[in-house]
Amino acid sequence: MKTPIISPSLLSANFANLQADLDVINRSEADWLHIDIMDGVFVPNISFGFPVLKYVAQLSQKPLDVHLMIVQPEKFIPEVKALGAMMMNVHYEACPHLHRVIQQIKDAGMKAGVTLNPATPVSLLADIITDVDMILLMSVNPGFGGQEFIPHTLDKIRELRSLIERTGSHALIEVDGGVNLETGKALVDAGADVLVAGSFVFGAPDMIERVGQLKRL
Ligand code: DX5
Ligand code: ZN
């Protein structure tokens, strides 16, 4: 089985001591750091914003994988770029002019990802799949950490893998929500390249060991 890219989700960190948690993630085998930005409109929750993330970006030695759960995410391309983000993921459901937004993200010098909610079909990606660097499949309804994995995600990965192969796209497949050792293994077996894990990593007694377990499912 191939080794997945691991992107721990900061949403489940201790916000009263982010430096301590970031120090541990820096020392771990994590590949990226997943950053969930919410607006209380696109999703029914608010996480953190750019004034906080400015300090997170300074402390993180891992590339930032930014997931915007907000309406009109294109408004914040300069702010995400200013963080030094490697990847900017926008929701399909939040972008009526998705092609333009993807070009704007790439023109800003970042990799561009498109995120699908659980009820949004993979088939809708047919006309954008060769333009993007990553597809982020939500395996829970976005807005909260610690929710239960939706098994239908496994079918969506297989369908997406076949779309990627058929079109010659280079897009990675990332999955976000309810990832643990059991669901993580099923996801990688189904064709996922990148696993996001929030509560499973930050809730672990030994976060470094837990990231290592996800790397070696
Ligand atoms: C949910 C976020 C996720 C969240 C995952 O809206 O996009 O990144 O942190 O949390 P877990 O891994 O606990 O399901
Ligand atoms: Zn996320």
**pLDDT per residue over 48-98, tens digit each?**
999 999 999 999 999 999 999 999 999 999 999 999 999 999 999 999 999
C-beta 7 within 6 A of ligand 1? no
> Phi, psi at residue 8, to the nearest 5°?
-60, 140
Give the Å distance between the CA of 140 and the centre of ligand 2. Answer: 10
pLDDT tens for each residue of 157-197: 999 999 999 999 999 999 999 999 999 999 999 999 999 99
- State the pLDDT at residue 52: 98
- State the pLDDT at residue 146: 98
Distance, CA of 164 to CA of 105 (rounded, Å): 21
Residue 203: how many CA atoms within 13 Å on its side-chain side?
11
Question: Which residues face 115 on adjacent strands?
Answer: 91, 136
Residue 47 carries which DSSP code?
Answer: -
> Is 20 a residue whose pLDDT tops 80?
yes
Q: Considering the entire predicted model, what is its pTM?
A: 0.98
Name 129's Cβ contacts closer than 8 Å, sequence gap at least 6. Answer: 135, 163, 164, 167, 169, 171
Give the Cα-Cα-Cα angle 61, 64, 66 (nearest 5 degrees): 160
* Mean pLDDT, all residues of the chain: 98
The residue type of 209 is E
Nearest ligand to the CA of 67 is 2
C-beta 9 within 6 A of ligand 1? yes
* Token pair recorded at residue 136: 């982020």
> Is 34 a residue whose pLDDT tops 80?
yes
Distance, CA of 29 to CA of 102 (rounded, Å): 29
- State the pLDDT at residue 156: 98
> Is 1 a residue whose pLDDT tops 80?
no
Distance, CA of 113 to CA of 89 (rounded, Å): 4
Ligand 1 pocket test target in 7, 11, 134 with most atoms within 8 Å of CB: 11
pLDDT tens for each residue of 96-127: 999 999 999 999 999 999 999 999 999 999 99
In ligand 1, which atom is closest to the CA atom of 147?
Answer: 14
Give the Å distance between the CA of 200 and the centre of ligand 1. Answer: 10
Tell me if 49 sits within 8 A of 83, measured CB to CB: no
In ligand 1, which atom is closest to the CA atom of 177?
Answer: 14
The beta-carbon contacts of 185-189 under 8 Å, at least 24 apart in sequence, are: 185/1, 185/217, 186/154, 187/4, 187/139, 187/153, 187/154, 187/157, 188/1, 188/2, 188/4, 188/217, 189/1
User: In 3-state terms, what secondary structure has residue 196?
Assistant: strand
Give the Å distance between the CA of 130 and the centre of ligand 2. Answer: 22
Instruction: pLDDT band for 42, please (50, 70, 90 cuts).
Output: very high
Q: Which residues are catalytic?
A: 36, 176
